[in-house]
Structures are given as structure tokens and as C-alpha cells.
Amino acid sequence: MKNSIKYFGIALMMAAGFQAQAQDVDVDVDVENKTIWDRDLPNFRAPDQRGLTEFEPTKDTDYDFDGVQVRIGGASTIQLQGLRQENSSGENDDLAELGTNFNLATANLDLDVLLAPGLRMHLRTYLSSLHHNEAYVKGGYIQIDGLEWISEDLAGYMDNWRVKIGHMENNYGDAHFRRSDNAMALYNPFVGNYLMDAFTTEVGAEVYYMNGPWLAMAGFTNSTINQSSLETDRDPSYLAKIGYDKQINEDFRFRLTGSVFHSGFRPIGSRGSTQYLYSGDRAGTRYYNVIEGDFRAGRINPATGAELTSFMINPFIKFGGLEFFGIYENASTENDDWNQYAGELIYRFGQGEDFYVGTRYNTASNDDVSVNRFNVGGGWFLTKNVLAKVEYVNQQYNDYPAGTVYDDAQFNGFNIEAVISF
């Protein structure tokens, strides 16, 4: 208990230090008639507090191009973890002995470049992550929102269209817009991601149609995160999304999307038999050393077969400071069938909604077993780029076979996380 109080005090002093430094920078500064917060790229999700409730970047066709524009950004995150765990053995012989201490600090480096009118490049590099001790590229893409760079005669032809091509984070579902992406944890109101964490980076292309509140997307990938020129029997994967997103009035916004992902049959044992939709995150878990003890600990991977069909439905409602985000997801293979449900209720308050409190319930199950997670916590935006958050988490494993590490397993405790993103 004394150690917990000591570490909590250290975390509070860190937060106070962030705030002290923030006093001089969280102000509007005129730079060529633009404030600090206006100097962003078009068709781009702000990597700060402004991007919280944004999903696909808003379609923007009204901007001036004054030459190549380079935006260098990044993120840095650290957690103070105080978790405890147990299973049916009662002696924790097969579980790590967890203490209270700081996790490895993680860092991202982002490079976004407006190359021409309607043509933007994105590249994200993980500088530090749980799973890798070396820097490596997460992925990148080219985003096309206009064709003026080819010919002025083509201006306006893509006012409702967008194309993304690259080795990139694929747009299946809305949950990946609220998850922590290594150090980029500012959009996530809690510390951990979802139990069935649908996130992968595969080579592919996505075509969008955007017309007012309506959104439609169709795309494909080459079904692998580790690229190779060697011959393979891997088939393409296909994904699609349709949605409605409208600010009904000043206080009320409603969004509803449905997404599907399908990867076809491949012979078991072939080089192409692995599915990556739920195991594509190479950065690692936010709950260090729990249960399995590996870098994906605390998550569920339902894609154990050679064929996978998943669909996800996501409602999002914001009424004043009250915010709800939900997940219903089904993942089916030739071997298994999993369902995931999640609901987040967040209340944001204070000047500029700089504070929030909230709770999340998340469960995943098949015909035999289930896993339940409960989170409660809150956060404080010290500036638009600095977030301090704290959560309590309780995760339980139910009906797993006796003798396995999951038999009546659970972990619970607190996490304090500090995030800088710019």
C-alpha cells in the first residue's frame, strides 16, 4: 500500500509538471494569420483533443495549396501499472508475480506530407514499443482526395470520393479509431484496447464515397503483414463499410456504421493459413505480463482457422458532454464462432470539455468460454496535446478447462497513463 501511494504521488507530480510547462504553450499564437491549432493539413485527423470524436477524416475540398507542406508529429506515453492476478491454482505458480511500477515508455514518429492538391502521404514509425526494442515502420499510405495534381480539368471530379493505397491500418469497424496505437493513446478514454482487438496493417487499397452524412467504403488487402516476394497461396481479403454520421443539432450527433471483413479459404498448414485481423498489432498489450505473459496478453484472438468472416456494428451518440460508443462484433471461422459486445459511456465536462469520467464494459465469448472486462476511470486534458488518465480494470476468464492458465483466471487493479501527442 505504501508503494502504491508513493508511485501515485510520483505520477501526480509528473502531471503537475506537464501542466506547468503547458501554461506557456496552450495559447493562440498568430503565425501568418493562423493560430497554432489551424496549421494542419486538409483531410487530416488532428492528433490532439480536436480529433477525439472524429473517425474517417472529414472530406475537405476548400483549401489553398502553396507548395509541398510537411507536418512532423508524434506521441509519447507511459503508464504506472498496479495490477494483481490469480487463477484456480491459488498459488500463482504459472502466473507472473506482478508489482507496482512504471511500464516501458512508448513513442511514435509521424510524417504527413501534402504533396499536391488532393494528394497526401502518411507514415508512422514506432520508435519504442513493448514487443520490439528497435524502431520500425508501422505503415503508411497515399490518400487521394482530388485530381488537380494531374490536371486542372479534373478539379471537382473527386468531391465525393477518396482513395487510400498503402501498407496501412485497414478501416474495418470504428473501434480502431478509439484504440491506442502504441504511443498514440490520446483518442482512447481508457488505458487498454478491446478484448477482440481488430487491428491489422496489410497492403491494400480502399475507395470511399462521401455524400453529406453518408459514407461507403470498399477495399481489399493481400492478407499479410509480413511482405515477401516468395510464391504463396494466400488469397486477398475484402472489407467494406457503410455508415451514417450527422450532427443533428448543436448538441446532438448520431453515427451508425456497419463493417465486414472476409478472407477466403486456404489449405491448413500452407504458408497463407494465418489470419492477422486480431493478431496484427505488433506494438503489444497495455496490460503488461498478465495471464499469458506475452506481448498480446489479455486479448482474445478468435481467428484460429484459415477462413475468417467478421462483421462489426458501431453506434456513436454524443449529446452535449455525454458520449456513447458501442460494439457488436461476430467473428466466424471453420473452427469457431465468437461474439463481442462493448459499451462505453463517457461524460466530458469543464471548459472545453477538458475533463471526463466514464466506464466501459466489454465481453467476448464462444459456445464454451467467455471473458469479461470492466473499466472505470477518467482523464484530464492539461492542454490539447497532453492527457493524464487513470482507470481501474477487472478482467475475468470463465469456463476455461481445468489445468489451463485461464481456469478461473482474473486480473484487476489500476493504471495511470500520461500521453503527449502532437
Q: Identify the band that residue 23 occupies on the pLDDT scale cut at 50, 70 and 90.
A: very low
First to last CA, the chain: 35
How far is CA 206 from each of CA 61, 187, 314, rounded to the nearest angstrom?
19, 23, 19
Inter-residue contact 305 to 275 (CB < 8 Å): yes
- For residue 403, CA distances in Å to 180, 289, 297, 370, 409 come to 33, 20, 18, 17, 11
The string of pLDDT tens digits covering residues 157-184 is 999 999 999 999 999 999 999 999 999 9
pLDDT at res. 30: 43
> What amino acid is encoded at 92 in this protein?
N
Which residues constitute the domain of residue 91?
2-421
* Cβ-contact 242, 257 below 8 angstroms: yes
pLDDT over 80 at 39, yes or no: no
Q: What angle do CA 402, 408, 410 make, to 5 degrees?
A: 145
Helix (H, G, I), strand (E, B) or coil at 17: helix
How much is the pLDDT for 82? 98
What pLDDT, on the 0 to 100 scale, is given for residue 83? 97
The residue-averaged pLDDT of 81-92 equals: 84
Nearby residues of 201 by Cβ (< 8 Å), 6 or more positions away: 138, 139, 167, 168, 169, 170, 225, 280
Query: Is it the case that residue 376 has pLDDT exceeding 60?
Result: yes
| Whether the predicted pLDDT of 12 surpasses 50 | no
Higher pLDDT pick, 267 / 192: 192
pLDDT tens string 219-271? 999 988 888 777 766 789 999 999 999 999 999 999 999 999 999 765 544 44
What is the average pLDDT value for the chain, to the nearest integer?
Answer: 88
Could you tell me the CATH number of the domain that includes residue 74? 2.40.160.10
In angstroms, the Cα distances linking 397 to 245, 359, 400 are: 36, 20, 7
Q: Which three cell numbers stand for residue 265?
A: 479459404
Amino acid identity of residue 180, one-letter, is S
The residue that leads in pLDDT, 272 or 364, is 364
Query: Is 121 in contact with 142 (CB distance < 8 Å)?
Result: yes
Q: What is the distance between the alpha carbons of residues 186 and 287, in angstroms, rounded to a whole number?
A: 17
Buried b (16+ CB within 10 A) or exposed e, 114-144: bebbbbbebbbbbbbbbeeeeeeebbbbbbb
More confidently predicted of 260 and 94: 260
CB 397 within 8 A of CB 369: yes
Count of the separate structural domains present in the chain:
1
Quick one: pLDDT at residue 306? Answer: 77
Span 84-112, mean pLDDT? 89
Could you give the percent of the chain with pLDDT greater than 90?
76
Q: Are 393 and 287 in contact (CB under 8 A)?
A: yes
What pLDDT does 27 receive?
Answer: 37
This prediction has a pTM of: 0.88
Confidence of residue 304 (pLDDT cuts 50, 70, 90): confident
Q: What per-residue string of b and e applies to 229-244 under the rule 16 or more CB within 10 Å gives b?
A: eeeeebbebbbbbebe
CA 326 – CA 315 distance, rounded (Å): 5
Q: Rounded to whole angstroms, how far apart are CA atoms 384 and 353?
A: 10
pLDDT at 92: 53
**Cβ–Cβ < 8 Å for 345, 357:** no
Least-confidence region, from 11-25, 63-77, 282-296: 11-25
- 3-state class of 51 per DSSP? helix
- As a dihedral over the C-alpha atoms of residue 133, residue 230, residue 197, residue 205, rounded to 10 degrees, the angle is 110
The CA distance from 322 to 177, in Å, is: 18
Q: What is the pLDDT of residue 232?
A: 67
* Measured distance CA(123)–CA(265) in Å, rounded: 32
